[in-house]
Amino acid sequence: MKILFSPVGMTDPIRYFKDGALLNICRKYRPDKVYLYMSKEVLRFHDKDDRYRYCLEQLGELLGHKFEVELIKRPELEDVQLFDAFLSDFRNELINIHEQYPDAEILLNVSSGTPAMKSSLQILSLTLNFHCQPIQVSTPQKCSNPRIDEEKDLTPEEHWELNESNDAPDDRCIPSLTENLVKEFETQNVIKLINSYDYAAAYAIAKDSELFSDKFKELLSAAASRLKLEPKARTVFKKYNIKGVTADNAEYADISEYLLLLDIKIKKEEYADFLRSITPAIFELFMMYLKNKCNFAISDYTYTDKKDVIKWDMEKLKGTKILAALDKKYNGLNADSFVNSDSLSVIIYELSSETAAKEKADILRNRVENKLRNKAAHTIISITDDKVKSYTGMYSREIFKHLAKMFELSGYQLNEKSYDRMNSILISEI
């Protein structure tokens, strides 16, 4: 069974002595049933002379094909340019038709009616969970046609008799290539998600789509893995010889990626997650700085217990200035004390000759971690950037700059544009 759903417009049923879109579609596709959607203005012409059904009956006789016609009357519909009303009403009508005739082929006339009607049907053809084929109809040539005011006074019978399409059928129907629209919607959606750093959602759309290459899908999957700090990303980008995205030096790659993840959390305004993630970053940065700049090997002064917790080893510390500094800070170091960023900051003050490093250690430990982390981890509150500012005197972006500077003081440079470069590479592959 073939069904046509058609708004009725001012060029239906016949205009310029040629088929209007409604008749032209019916002449070519010969639907078994035609639903005519009528606004208040169209109903005025229908009530006057029943011109739409009359011409369909005449066309049926000419073709030897009966059109079953059902009217969808909307006498209250005057604002025919309002998009939202049609989108909802058309959706409901099409769903009802599909439920009544689940195996039918449904055609949509997207050339009759107002622009709002046409665009609503085009969108529904893409978003409904059953297939509807939109049909466009090009307009006939008008160079030798009479004036509209001469034509409008004709009766439906006269219109039909003078319809040139009856003697010389002119197929002006063009199936709308919704595939192009689908591709554009999917592509723009994926691009938007990539630029929002939501690679998992972008991959969920792309992975089963034929619109995207296998290489693009692999790179996008790697980007999603990167955001989870999985090493897969480095392997995939290296496979395609893509440089300047992930850090290749294993010595600092993990902390570099972790810091860049914090940067993404700020960009996505995930401030609570940002604060909860600060402690590991500060700890690793302090460890890195002490190793690289102070020749401090943590294993020379610590041991790892059965729970993999790094603790200070009192025997190894005995007689060292490290123990003296820790004893002074904590009024005697507890024998069961574990290594944390606070104790590491004490050692930075003791061993480092760089004022900048001491300042960063103080800011990150005392103004940031000590004040904010517990609030984010143990309090049910909304964390905004303004609250971060009120607690520390700094916005999240400023805190991140201190983290990046500590990374730099350790001897490395953080590529803060890394994710944006990766996004550009991903989008270039679409």
**Are 365 and 372 spatial neighbours (Cβ–Cβ below 8 Å)?**
no
CA–CA separation, 181 and 188 (whole Å): 10
The pLDDT confidence band at residue 167, using thresholds 50, 70 and 90, is confident
27-81 pLDDT, tens digit each: 999 999 999 999 999 999 999 999 999 999 999 999 999 999 999 999 888 766 6
Mean per-residue pLDDT for 283-288? 95
In this model, does residue 195 exceed pLDDT 50?
yes
Give me 110's structure tokens: 């997207």
Q: How many CA atoms lie within 13 A of 282 on its CB side?
A: 29
CA–CA separation, 351 and 333 (whole Å): 18
Q: Which domains does the chain have, with CATH numbers?
A: 2-176 (3.40.50), 181-247+421-428 (no CATH), 262-414 (no CATH)
CA–CA separation, 41 and 371 (whole Å): 68
320-361 pLDDT, tens digit each: 999 999 999 999 988 888 999 999 999 999 999 999 999 999
Among 20-29, 151-160, 196-205, 355-364, the least confident range: 151-160
Q: Give me the chain's average pLDDT, please.
A: 89
CA–CA separation, 300 and 234 (whole Å): 32
Task: Assign 213 to helix, strand or coil.
Answer: coil
H or E stretch covering 4? strand 2-7
Q: Residue written as tokens 């297939």?
A: 131
CA dihedral 79, 83, 86, 90 (to 10 degrees): 160
Euclidean distance between the first and the last CA atom of the chain, given in angstroms as a whole number: 39
Q: What is the pLDDT of residue 142?
A: 47
CA–CA separation, 120 and 8 (whole Å): 14
User: Would the pTM of this model clear 0.75, i.e. be above it?
Assistant: no
The pLDDT confidence band at residue 146, using thresholds 50, 70 and 90, is very low
For strands 132-137 and 173-175, give the pairing.
antiparallel
DSSP per-residue letters across 316-343: HHTT-HHHHHHHHHHTS--TTPBP-HHH
Higher pLDDT, 114 or 32: 32
Q: What is the pLDDT of residue 381?
A: 66
Mean per-residue pLDDT for 372-400? 79
In this model, does residue 148 exceed pLDDT 60?
no
Listed in sequence order, the residues at least 6 apart from 394 whose beta carbon sits closer than 8 Å to its beta carbon are 367, 368, 388, 402
Burial (0-12, 13-18, 19+ Cβ within 10 Å), 377: exposed
Mean per-residue pLDDT for 250-267? 92
Percent of the chain with pLDDT over 70: 92
Give me 309's structure tokens: 């917790």
Q: What is the pLDDT of residue 131?
A: 87
Listed in sequence order, the residues at least 6 apart from 128 whose beta carbon sits closer than 8 Å to its beta carbon are 91, 94, 95, 98
Q: What is the pLDDT of residue 376?
A: 54
CA angle (40, 42, 47) in 5-degree steps: 90
Q: What is the pLDDT of residue 370?
A: 81
Q: What is the pLDDT of residue 143?
A: 43
Q: Which range, 167-181, 237-251, 289-303, has the best average confidence (pLDDT)?
A: 289-303
Q: What is the pLDDT of residue 102?
A: 93
**Are 284 and 253 spatial neighbours (Cβ–Cβ below 8 Å)?**
no
